[in-house]
Chains A and B, each alone.
Chain A
Amino acid sequence: MTGDSQIPEIISKFVLEKFLPGEGPEALNDKTPLISGGIMNLIDTIKLVAFLEGTFQIQFKSFEIGVDYLNDIASIAEMVRRKINEKG
């Protein structure tokens, strides 16, 4: 099972690799706006959700996909933590 502290790290790594290829870790911090900042588009968001669901064995509801919950690494990590806790 993934530890709480590792969640942001895993997400950052995925975002850097898939949506900011060629950029160093300094290009992304916990509060970098991913959707509103234009780093992730609609298809990227779907790819991210698929990754999160597969990696953490969680399920997103349709209203949770979008800028309100997935706009930065901190929000995404918080959402993942909550879903893992809900699952028990």
Chain B
Amino acid sequence: MYQYLTLSPGEIHNLWTVLQFTVTTYLLYLRISGQFHLIVGLLCLFGFNLPETHHLYYLSSSFNDFWRRINIYWKDFIMKMIYYPVFIRLRNTAGTSTAIVFATVIAFLGTWLLHSYQWFWLRDSFPISATDGIFWGFLGLLVVINSLIEASSQRKPHKILTLKASLIHSAKTVIFFLFMSFLWSLWSSSTPANWLGIVSQWRHSSIGDFAGLAILLAALTVIGTVAQVAFRHKGQSPANAAWPMPPTAVRITVMASLLIVITLPSVTGSLGHGPENLITTLRQDRLNMKDQELADRGYYEGILEQRNFTSALWSNRANRPDDWVGLKRSDVIKYRQDLLQYEMKDSYAGNFKGTLFSTNRFGMRDKQYQEAKPAGIYRIALVGASYEMGPGVRNDQIYEAILENQLNAANIAGRNRRVEILNFSVGGYSIVQKSLVAENKIVSFQPDLVIVTIYSGDYERLEIHLSEIVQGNVPIPYPALRAIIERCHVHPGMNSKQIRQSLQPCLPDAAEWAFVKLKSDCMKHGFPLMVVFMPSTKDMRTKGAGESLSSLWDRALRAGLQPERVDNIFANYKMEEVEIAPWDSHPGVLGHRLLADGLCRLLLNKKTEMFENDHESASRQGDPP
């Protein structure tokens, strides 16, 4: 559920994705209830027979039913500590109904405050948020209404379960589940406005979508009805059940055996690393892509929305060293007040993500080079983002440094001529920022080739970059880019999520603008340009990575470029082998070696094209091509 079905806000665009967002948010609580069951089961092994908690709460059919089924220990605690004392105190003076209302309201208020108090112990903050207030207030109000109805009504005689009664119960359960999903997703959102922004995406749906939803709900109701009728005698005798279920022990043994089998080397060998990675994600508390995005946003934006911490992200953060901060929160960079936003400090040396991080006098994470190109040097300017900047690995372990050695060992530029790769990359740079680097930073170094790398996350980075530019009201000195952004009707008064969502339709055009700019700037200075689509460690796990790459590729073609591609060299490796740490998906030492190998192969294949207009190379006796 957590790894594969939860959606990030950017992926929600119609009724079905709104539904997926709300339902999966609600179902994430399975993890908590599962932990309760494990704890109760373990205590039972030691002779402590606690009552069952979290009893089929997704099958609740009313608010009172839900309150009784979900966290029974919490409910009992609140009843004893708050509800009954308030009720006893009030009932003689105010009457039973008023006492029920006040006791319920105060019990829910207490629940809200005690939940915030738990956060205080965990996180050293006491959140009083609007979403909490709405969630607990609404739930409390509905429980009050339900309680008053129950208090004033007589219980009807127990009847044999009829088809009609089963149908009504089933419909109530389905509708209540849907309602709770929406309420739960509101509770899990950082603000009501953000939640409204997400769920309002249902507007982009057709009549067919609504008809499909109605059919789905009807089908679930029918399934529920059939299940009730089929199992109605189960309580009397298991043998009478229409569909006898195997015992729990058998079901657990079969599931556990299946999990063990798919991790066996012989099975993994034939199925690839997909199943093994699946098990790893289940075993290791790894972040899903949505939370990886949040973590990466810490990298890119320097912000983590505290409210949206899931347990995996929490656990992930707990394992992460304290000094493992994102680039924008580090002292590696300095901010600017223009479209480039930020750049690395020159001559910096310090610790960043667990390793020594140093920059040269030009602010590149690279060796010291002369600005003027020396004779006998073939210069490549590498313009990329975090993969090229190499967080968490030493300077000499970055794939750019390895590639430089590999190209020189292969004498790609000739026996008497060395290759220098100048690394202009900065973590988090969008394609627009890369085009600005190509325009403004590389010219004085007179490169013989400019390589610009593109990844599946480039739209994400572009979205973040442009949203920050809009929010910060930073002037955009390029009329064409300004016009593209203006088409999205964004303004600094909107919140970042609204801006990001509104910008999405314009991202392909903005990327194309950057590709065109890269091409024209490089042509103006006579620098050959190579745009290389690189694989990322997340591609295999990220929904939509292929579509993003394909769209970016099309835009590069439309801009008149002939992009190159390094195939996915990570596909045959486990995540933990190629990533820097469980809490950071950037490539580690092996990941950089693989990237260097992949790009080296590509450049050796392109050797003829690289050197066809290279006069210095052609003039050297015995030199290639």
Contacts and interface: CB of A to CB of B under 8 A. Distances in A.
A57 to B, nearest CB: 14
A61 B83 CA distance: 12
A62 B151 contact: no
Interface in A1-58: 18-23, 36, 41-43, 46-47, 50
B157 A21 contact: yes
- Summarize B's interface: helix, strand, loop or mixed: helix
A22 to B, nearest CB: 3
B283 interface: no
A41 B159 CA distance: 19
Contacts of A46: 87, 96, 100, 151
Interface string B248-268: 000000000000000000000
Contact of A66 (B79, B147, B156): B79
A66 B64 contact: no
Contacts of A66: 76, 79-80, 84
A18 B155 contact: yes
Most buried by B among A19, A41, A42, A65: A42
Interface in A50-88: 50, 60-63, 65-67
B147 A43 contact: yes
* Interface residue range, chain B: 20 to 34
Contact of B151 (A36, A43, A60, A67): A43
A22 B76 CA distance: 29
A20 B158 contact: yes
Contact of B79 (A42, A50, A60): A42
B80 A63 contact: yes
A62 B85 contact: yes
Contact of A43 (B76, B84, B150, B157): B150
B64 A41 contact: yes
B96 A22 contact: no
A43 B145 CA distance: 12
A43 B79 CA distance: 12
A48 to B, nearest CB: 12
Given A41-B64, A41-B150, A47-B151, A62 B158 contact: no
Contacts of B271: none
B105 to A, nearest CB: 15
B88 interface: yes
A50 B80 contact: no
A21 B155 contact: yes
Given A36-B51, A43-B151, A46-B100, A67 B157 contact: no
B234 to A, nearest CB: 16
Nearest to A61: B88
A54 B159 CA distance: 31
A10 B517 CA distance: 90
Contacts of B91: 50
B13 interface: no
A63 B147 contact: no
Interface string B61-79: 0001000100000001001
A60 B89 CA distance: 11
A47 B76 CA distance: 18
A7 B80 CA distance: 26
A21 B156 contact: yes
Contacts of B150: 41, 43
A83 to B, nearest CB: 14
Contacts of A65: 79, 84, 88
Contact of B155 (A19, A50, A63): A19
B459 to A, nearest CB: 52
Q: Which 3 A-B pairs have the closest CB atoms?
A: A22-B157, A62-B84, A62-B85
13 contacts: A18-B154, A22-B158, A22-B159, A36-B51, A41-B64, A42-B64, A42-B147, A46-B96, A46-B151, A50-B91, A62-B80, A65-B84, A65-B88
Interface of B: 51, 64, 68, 76, 79-80, 83-85, 87-88, 91, 96, 100, 147, 150-151, 154-159
Interface of A: 18-23, 36, 41-43, 46-47, 50, 60-63, 65-67
Given A22-B157, A42-B68, A61-B88, 13 more contacts: A18-B155, A21-B154, A21-B155, A36-B51, A42-B64, A43-B64, A43-B100, A47-B151, A62-B80, A62-B88, A65-B79, A66-B76, A66-B84
